[in-house]
Structure 1
Amino acid sequence: YTQININNHPYRVTPLEYSGFMQWFNNRKQGIPNYLKVDMVSGEVTLEDLAENMKYSHSERFSRNVKRHLRRQYPTTIFRSPSFEVDDEGHPYYVATTYKNKFIFAQQEPSGVILLDAVNGETQFYDLGEIPTWMDRIYSAELILEQLNYYGKYTNGFWNSVFQKRGVTQTTEGYNYIPMNDDVYLYTGVTSVNSDASNIGFYLVNLRTKEAEFYPVTSADEFSAMASAEGSLQQMRYTSTFPLLINLNDRPYYISSLKDDSGLVRAYALVDAQDYQKVITSDTVDGLIAKLNGTVSKPEDLTEIEEVETDEELTWISGQVENISQAVVAGDTVYYFMIDGSIYKASIQLSDQLPFVELETLIEGEVNQNNVFRSIQISQ
């Protein structure tokens, strides 16, 4: 299935296929009359009838097979597996992204798109700047993740990636898709190379334009959230889908679907991204929001907590970092700094800049009697 947007609504689509050689032989003149469309919001599946049957698909034989037909039309062009898409009017196409070698043979970069009409086999090449807006899947998820990992690994230089590894990041092992503004975006978390149980942020990448945006949000990683969601209804033995990070009441949460053994969605889970042991479940997404709003702390409770914390005896310290280390405590990343011969601790929740602190960085802030930072200022 290919996830796309049709008239600004998210769907997954796939053509019907011939189940074998005899089915193809008996129906090859008529072609394929339908494709499946799955509503990503309601889960409703519809069998879409075509005005004209598809004569070109991956399950076709000989010259009407998609890859063979494209190879005959473009014998020297580099392309990978074409994806099935439909335009806003429901007409079926195959979209094949073309590639050119970058840095001789080291890496391939998209150079354009070949559009194959699945009904009549007509093809059209588009440069990247001329692609029709209804196309959603130009850049593959594999290519995006590969390039994000290259950036996270080598952003501070090759030798740093081999030895010190300061500031080296990598994407988490999973990813998901988010429909926004009639485009499809890839979502993936970012963590340090130490592979602890926390993320330092996430990326949203437009799969049509490759525009990328990094959001520095400290949270548990997605797999910790999935395990917590599954554990909240352990007796049901549901399986969590890969979650999405969302903002509710100015706090990050993971939201995921919980499926039974047959793959049907039975419940939804909302996991506090900064304390993944806190989970809310409901049969509907609206039910999650209602439960969340019913358990939010009252303003007077928050004020009371702040007053207790300010009663601590705090000391202002300032100095350059002489050594740095980190550990995961109760799902939260804690950074240990040696400043003027003393060891101080800082939770990742204090500042999104903490993962990027290096030796000789100037740090100032208030610490309690246990040398735990209550406030921190980092001068890069």
Structure 2
Amino acid sequence: MEPNEDGKPFFVASVGHYLKYRSGPVVDGVVLVNPETGDTKYYPKGKEPKWVDRTFTLETALEYWTYWGKYVHGWKNQSLIGPKKDVLIPNEDNMQVTFNEKGELIYVVDFTRAKSKGNSKTLVGYGVFNAKTGEMTYYKGVTSVLTGKEAKSNANASEFLSKYPGWKATNGIFYTIYGAPTYVIPVTKGSKFQGVAIVSANSDNPQVVFGKTKDEAFRNYKKLIASLGKVNGVTPQKGFEMKEIKGKVMRINDANLSNGYVFHLIVEGNAKRFSVDPGVNALSDVVLTNVGDQVVLKVMDMEEDIVPVDEFTNLDLPKK
């Protein structure tokens, strides 16, 4: 179901035909179904309304990637008795739905290499499938990186999640963050969101951090990446050291978010915006801070527009 520009919902059904018998699905277009009246209208592929994001289903995209990976050298090459040369296997348990920088819906899946006995557990590349156009792009050259399944397993086995019975890592999405291969994985208990696990996905030395908020998780991940230094050819970006910012508060405001108050402030002589979330020490001092107070902020600035604060000190408050 997708809403049009006016917010009115429609069921969007992908329709097509098979190349031969019941195999080789080809998408011809979509049928829009009005859920109130039952009226239907067919649009050929490429002629759909602009607001329709999904012409190709997730299942069709996975089938296309499976064909592409398996039959690179024909059927015999991927059979039980074949050598399986260059055969790639999509991780069907970790195919993700997300959006690209243009706002287009895409499916992302990671690939492992098929072997004569079982399949590799190391990521060798990943595929991106445009859900509207059907365009397929494979990104190769990924080495020594965990698959999404292995990253999820590492998150569930971490000391952070083991402290909370019933908390489970769900499927994560692969990114390059701060110059390092990374999976960002929501953590839930039943259907309730509990926080974010972030996995440094180097297969030689996987590491997991956790935060009950996104800001807390990424603040912890910065510290982890800084402590790892150069790992397996990945050199972290500049700015991976703790900096001290000292100055007068020019502005300070709070935002009441679902996870608690987050404070934003500007310090005299610094063009950056700084944020202080509930996970930071001395949050009570932040609450008592006024414009004009002298403060000391410890941050790990990685060129974000808003820099999270790791430690906060108000020099004008009475000493405890």
Q: TM-score range by the shorter chain?
A: 0.5 to 0.7
2:10 maps to 93
Instruction: Tell me if structure 2 keeps the 8 A contact 1:243–1:256.
Output: yes
Identity %: 22
Q: Partners in 1 of 2:192 and 2:23 — Cα distance?
A: 42
Which of residues 87, 92, 98 in structure 2 aligns to 1:178?
98
1:152 paired residue among 69, 74, 78: 69
> Which structure 2 residues correspond to residues 214-363 of structure 1 after superposition, within 5 A?
214-216=138-140, 217-218=142-143, 219-232=145-158, 233-237=161-165, 238-260=167-189, 262-275=190-203, 277-297=206-226, 302=230
Which string of whole-angstrom CA distances, capped at 9 and with x for unpartnered residues, describes residues 177-217 of structure 1?
11232321111110112322211111111111111211222
Structure 1 residue 120: Cα displacement: 2.9
- CA–CA separation in structure 1 for the residues paired with 2:133 and 2:183: 26
Q: Deviations over 1:302-347 (max 9, x none)?
A: 59x99xxxxxxxxxxxxxxxxxxxxxxxxxxxxxxxxxxxxxxxxx
- What amino acid is the match of 2:125? G
Q: Which of 103, 119, 130 in structure 1 is aligned with 2:20? A: 103
Residues 256 and 268 in structure 1, CA contact (< 8 A), matched pair in contact too? yes
Q: Which amino acid in structure 1 is aligned with residue 195 of structure 2? A: A
CA distance in 1, matches of 2:113, 2:230: 32
Aligned to 1:167: 86
Q: 1:188 aligns with which of 106, 109, 114?
A: 109
Q: Which runs of 5+ in 2 are unaligned?
A: 235-320
Higher helix share: 1
Aligned twin of 1:368: none
**1:155 and 1:302, CA in 2 relative to 1: closer, same or farther beyond 3 A?**
closer
Matched length = 220
- In 1: Cα distance, 2:44 partner to 2:218 partner: 44
2:126 to 189, 195, 202: 202
CA 1:251/1:277 → structure 2, altered by over 3 Å: closer, same or farther? closer
How far apart, in 2, do the equivalents of 1:298 and 1:143 lie?
Answer: 42
SS, match of residue 150 in structure 2: helix
Could you say if the C-alpha distance between residues 287 and 112 of structure 1 is closer, same or farther in structure 2, counting changes exceeding 3 Å? same
Corresponding position of 1:135: 52
Letter in 2 for 1:210: G
After superposition, what is the alpha-carbon deviation per residue over 1:233-283, rounded to whole angstroms, capped at 9, x for unaligned?
Answer: 2121311111100111211101101111x3211121111111363111111
Q: 1:112-131 alignment to 2 at 5 Å?
A: 112-131=29-48
1:213 paired residue among 130, 137, 145: 137
Distance 1:189 1:169 in 2: 10
- For residue 148 of structure 2, what is the amino acid of its counterpart? E
Question: Amino acid of the residue matched to residue 193 of structure 1?
Answer: A
Structure 1 runs (4+) greater than 6 angstroms displaced: none
Gap regions ≥5 residues in structure 1: 1-83, 307-380
Amino acid at match of 2:162: Q
In the TM superposition, residue 105 of structure 1 has moved relative to its aligned partner by 4.4
Letter in 1 for 2:105: V
Larger radius of gyration: 1
Query: In 2, distance between residues paired with 1:252 and 1:198?
Result: 13
1:125 alignment partner, SS class: strand
Q: 1:99 touches 1:110 (CA, 8 Å); kept in 2?
A: yes
Q: TM-score, normalised by structure 2?
A: 0.64
Taking the aligned partners of 2:153 and 2:201, their CA distance within structure 1 comes to 13
- Report the equivalent of 2:285: none
CA 1:212/1:227 → structure 2, altered by over 3 Å: closer, same or farther?
same
CA RMSD for the aligned pairs?
Answer: 2.4
Q: Which residue of 1 aligns with 2:245?
A: none
Give, in whole Å, the separation in 1 of the partners of 2:230 and 2:58.
42
> How does the TM-score come out when normalised to structure 1?
0.54
Change over 3 Å in CA distance of 1:176–1:298 after alignment to 2? closer
State the secondary structure of the residue aligned to 1:224.
helix
Does structure 2 retain, via aligned residues, the 8 Å contact 1:92–1:119? Answer: no
